[in-house]
Amino acid sequence: MSERCDKKNAMSLHQHDNFMTWMTSLDGVDEQAALEGEEVLIEQDAWRGRSRTTSLRNGIEIQTLRSEILEDFVLSIPYERTPRRFSSFYVERGDLDLQFYGTPKTKYSPSLGIMYSPQEGPFEGSYSRGKRINVVDCKAPIDLLEDTLEEIPTPEVQALLNEQHERGGYLHFPINREMRSLIKNILSSELNGALRQLQLEGIAIQLFALQLHLAQHSSATHFSNRLTFTSAAQKQIEEAYVHLLSDIKSPPSIKELAENAGMSERRLNAGLTQLFGGSAFELLRRERMETARQALREGPVPLKQIAYRVGYNHTSNFINAFTRYFGVSPRQFQKRT
């Protein structure tokens, strides 16, 4: 990237410990409105956007940002760890390279999110001209995770819970169709006041629950103390994952993915399994089934239409695959919802 923040903003980075306090220091930003949870307009030379921070019950805080990138630039914000807190970051639109506190730089997209319990360090992001990027950041007390868990935490989840963890735990997780629908609802909510807060609190808890389910019941996790791939190889694997799920109707083959990633099919599948809990075939099947399940929940839709949408040319093949995956047929599932 060719540009950094202007001198005034770069100087302000040393005086603020997170995005909220940095944002309210920018020229033209209504600090009082931002602190009161109203949407504020941000207009900078390199980018412009609208941001809103909403404080909820249970110590949950949701921050949204809709932005338009006008010039290439890199933004770096120092961070001081808040004890007993964790954060989850989601991209609703666009993609961007980010390095969260103590994590490798990674390309985040609507298919890849991160849940982390960070140590002190910089947050740095690279932004490309012409992109529109919408993101959601949810923060909550670690106690909320502990109270939600019904089982003994896996080592991966324990790393998030342990504030004395050497480098801070973090979890990259696939964002499935159900999560994407929830994230979109955060950004598109038309409610106000207490009703909006109630809606957002429910959405945040659902998102946390889905992430914990992944962490507890699959190997779709990796933490700083478990990485076996270099940061460059990890980035290639994550980009392959995003490419794989970008079109579940007509996805690329494992051969194409491996060639684009510059590694063998076997190594790519091993990396996908370590980072996301399954081979290319298993991840594609999971996304197709979750997409189909969400479509069935949304209302009476012909099975033929759903099957075609998720990449099955024959409805019978889709019904068989759905039944094997969930243990019930699509029609039985519809009757239960």
Mean predicted confidence (pLDDT) in 68-97: 82
Average pLDDT of the chain?
79
pLDDT value, residue 60: 93
pLDDT value, residue 227: 43
Mean predicted confidence (pLDDT) in 56-85: 84
pLDDT value, residue 7: 34
Structure tokens belonging to residue 181? 């629908």
The single-letter code of the amino acid at 209 is: A
> Which of the four pLDDT bands, split at 50, 70 and 90, describes residue 11?
very low
Tell me the CATH class for 231-336. mainly alpha
With a CB cutoff of 8 Å and minimum separation 6, the contacts of 284 are 244, 245, 248, 251
* Count of residues in the chain: 337
> Which of the four pLDDT bands, split at 50, 70 and 90, describes residue 13?
very low
With a CB cutoff of 8 Å and minimum separation 6, the contacts of 247 are none
| d(C-alpha 181, C-alpha 46), whole Å | 30
Residue scoring higher pLDDT (40 or 225)? 40
Report residue 139: phi and psi, to 5°: -115, 145
Q: Where in the chain is the domain with CATH 1.10.10.60?
A: 231-336
Report residue 220: phi and psi, to 5°: -80, 45
Judge if pTM exceeds 0.75. no
pLDDT digits (tens, 9 = 90+) for 245-303: 888 999 999 999 999 999 999 889 888 877 777 789 988 998 898 889 888 888 788 99
Q: Where in the chain is the domain with CATH 2.60.120.10?
A: 7-217
Is the pLDDT score of 162 beyond 50?
yes
pLDDT value, residue 223: 39
pLDDT value, residue 79: 65
Q: Which of 138, 135, 114 is nearest to 62 (CA)?
A: 138
| d(C-alpha 262, C-alpha 88), whole Å | 30
Mean predicted confidence (pLDDT) in 155-177: 66
> Which of the four pLDDT bands, split at 50, 70 and 90, describes residue 307?
very high
Domain covering 7-217: architecture: Sandwich (2.60)
| d(C-alpha 230, C-alpha 68), whole Å | 32
pLDDT digits (tens, 9 = 90+) for 178-213: 888 899 999 988 888 889 899 999 999 999 888 877
Give the strands of the sheet with 47-55, arranged side by side.
40-43, 47-55, 61-69, 132-141, 85-93, 112-116, 170-174
| d(C-alpha 216, C-alpha 122), whole Å | 29
Structure tokens belonging to residue 27? 């020229």
Strand duo 170-174 + 112-116: pairing: antiparallel
With a CB cutoff of 8 Å and minimum separation 6, the contacts of 275 are 172, 220, 222, 234, 237, 238, 241
pLDDT digits (tens, 9 = 90+) for 124-137: 888 888 889 999 99
